[in-house]
Amino acid sequence: MQLELKPYSACKVLVVDDEPISRMLLTSILEPFVNCISASNGEEAIDQCVIHNPDLILLDMNMPDVDGLTVCRTLKDKADTAQIPVVFVTSTIDVETENMCWEVGASDFVLKPVTASTLVHRIKNHLQGKLRTELLERMTFHDQLTGLYNRLYLSNEIPLLVKQVARDHSSLGVIMMDIDFFKLYNDNYGHLQGDICLQQVAAIIGAHARRPKDAAIRFGGEEFMLVLPYTDMNGVKKVAEDIVAAISSENITHYAGKDGKLSISAGYAVRPANELQDTGISSLIESADIFLFEAKEAGRNRAIG
């Protein structure tokens, strides 16, 4: 698992200003240190956040149509953009305006005309804070060996996801997966090779968590889990079968496996999220686990749901 801070050169800063000259000036100051993208109005800024997921937003407060305060409030109300630091750029500031900045969730503000060194240092400081928070989250919520989410993420964050999907009146799917005959694999090839095998399988499973809210989790040992919000039974079935096929096509040698190859078994289940708000996701996991057992009993290397 990657535990180093991302360098500034890999960070994206969204510069939002309705005046082209101001955008050009701010971008020219920051581009030697970070990657800059720009937007000329509030609506475009919100769209750019969805597309690019910037690490920080430098936002003009006074814009026609949608002003900076409204943009900031909108972004802070969305789960996908709430954690992006927002630094306002304004030509005037008084106590009332300053308080409004904090109330909508801004991290800081700078005054026009902008002093280049002050802007750079403030942007770097806020990026440093965000990157450190992200690193701490990776260490807290990710499995160290595979880099997938861990059980703490499952218990702390997935309930919030269930509530969000329930509000949208949609369904949530779970796939439970287990490496076939993994104890025999470890006994024959050794635990170091077993760890490499776990990493290979995890990478394939993680590659199938393609949407921002999909969550690939190391459930324990050689057992994995994939949470798929906003997905119906047909969608979950396809993902489960695709993962089983992808593991098989990787041709990882296993003397005890079918045709001498490593395989996994999978069980999957889907339920409307509003049915899970009271009981939690555990009942859905139990259903998927039952189907996983059936997949094992049916000969392994398959997905059943």
Active site residues: 222
Q: Is 85 within 8 Å of 57 (Cβ atoms)? A: yes
Determine the Cα–Cα distance for residues 138 and 260; give it in Å rounded to an integer: 36
CA angle 228, 231, 232 (to 5 degrees): 130
How far CA 272 is from CA of 80, 172, 174, 199, 269, in Å, comes to 22, 6, 12, 32, 11
Collapsing DSSP states into helix, strand and coil, what is residue 72?
helix
- The arrangement of strands across the sheet holding 108-111 comes to 35-39, 12-16, 56-60, 86-90, 108-111
Determine the Cα–Cα distance for residues 244 and 127; give it in Å rounded to an integer: 40
Q: Does residue 113 have a cis peptide bond before it, meaning omega lies within 30 degrees of 0?
A: yes
Strands (E), 209-249: 215-220, 223-229
Matching residue, tokens 């991290």: 107
